[in-house]
Amino acid sequence: MPEQYVTVAGEGEHETEVSRSRFVCALAPAATEEEARAFIARIRARHPGATHNCSAYVIGADAAVQKSDDDGEPGGTAGLPMLQMLLRREIRCAVAVVTRYFGGTKLGAGGLIRAYGGAVGQALDAVGTRVRRRYRLVTVTADHQRAGRLENDLRSGGRSVRGVTYGAQVTIELGLPEGEIDGFRAWLAESTAGTAGLTVGDEDYVEG
């Protein structure tokens, strides 16, 4: 697994115009092909009168799945340049849909390639990106008396706290780099006089 990858910051849209044709690029994070396809279907439904809804997605931190669709544009002039732009910008786990409203002027193959690829590039600039790094998921359990200060210490120390659950005890979920687990275990024992529990889980990617 790669140590980190870059994906889009969140769902967003950006519109460009080329020779009176409107190109609306919608972007979203997508962890699976199912998520990517669902997003594509949602964008298609949002633009039923569009001339084309072309798409591309890259799934997996290692870009294991790469798909594109020209949706009626000449082969290789829409979906592929969209996919190539995602890959050129090293974007992973993301989906792009470019909706075209034809403006009456044909762009030719070269013009289409530039328009579709450019729409994705400009949308990435507008929506922004974020880095997700590989961490080990860990769960800390503590009594209510210590939990508030412990959570504050974790956050102020720059730890990636993913969630806090209050029950009989307080459960704090966070991500830690593999090499820091032993040091964190020692710090936790000292900070809570050995009263907090620590469970080490699977690897995942978290923002960091």
User: For the segment 155-173, what is each residue's pLDDT rounded down to a tens digit?
Assistant: 888 887 888 999 999 999 9
Residues 81 and 175 in one domain: no
Q: Are strands 170-176 and 160-166 parallel, antiparallel or unpaired?
A: antiparallel
For 4-22, the pLDDT digits (tens) are 999 999 999 999 999 999 9
Residues 150 and 180 in one domain: yes
DSSP designation for 9: S
pTM (whole model) above 0.85:
no
Residue 126: strand pairing partners: none
CATH number of the domain residue 85 falls in = 3.30.230.30
Q: Cβ distance 141 to 196 under 8 Å?
A: yes
- Please give the residue range of the domain that contains residue 187: 133-207
Residues 104 and 157 in one domain: no
Residue 198: strand pairing partners: 140
- Sequence letter at residue 108: G
CATH number of the domain residue 162 falls in = 3.30.70.240
Residue 108 pLDDT grade (very low, low, confident, very high; cuts 50, 70, 90): very high
Residues 110 and 161 in one domain: no
Residues 63 and 147 in one domain: no
What is the chain's mean pLDDT, rounded? 93
pLDDT at residue 208 tops 70: no
Residues 93 and 166 in one domain: no
Residues 28 and 113 in one domain: yes
Residues 84 and 12 in one domain: yes
The residue behind tokens 């412990």 is 150
Single out the residue in 72, 107, 127 at which a domain terminates. Answer: 127
Residue 15, pLDDT score: 97
Burial of 38 (0-12, 13-18, 19+ CB in 10 A): middle
Q: Which residues contact 80 (CB under 8 A, 6 or more apart)?
A: 56, 68, 70
Residue 145 pLDDT grade (very low, low, confident, very high; cuts 50, 70, 90): confident
Number of domains comprising the chain = 2
Single out the residue in 98, 127, 156 at which a domain terminates. Answer: 127
Q: Which two tokens stand for residue 49?
A: 């009168």
pLDDT at residue 142 tops 70: yes
Residues 148 and 98 in one domain: no
Taking residues 46-54, report their average pLDDT.
96
Single out the residue in 109, 127, 145 at which a domain terminates. Answer: 127
For 89-105, the pLDDT digits (tens) are 999 999 999 999 999 88
Residues 141 and 188 in one domain: yes
Residues 22 and 123 in one domain: yes
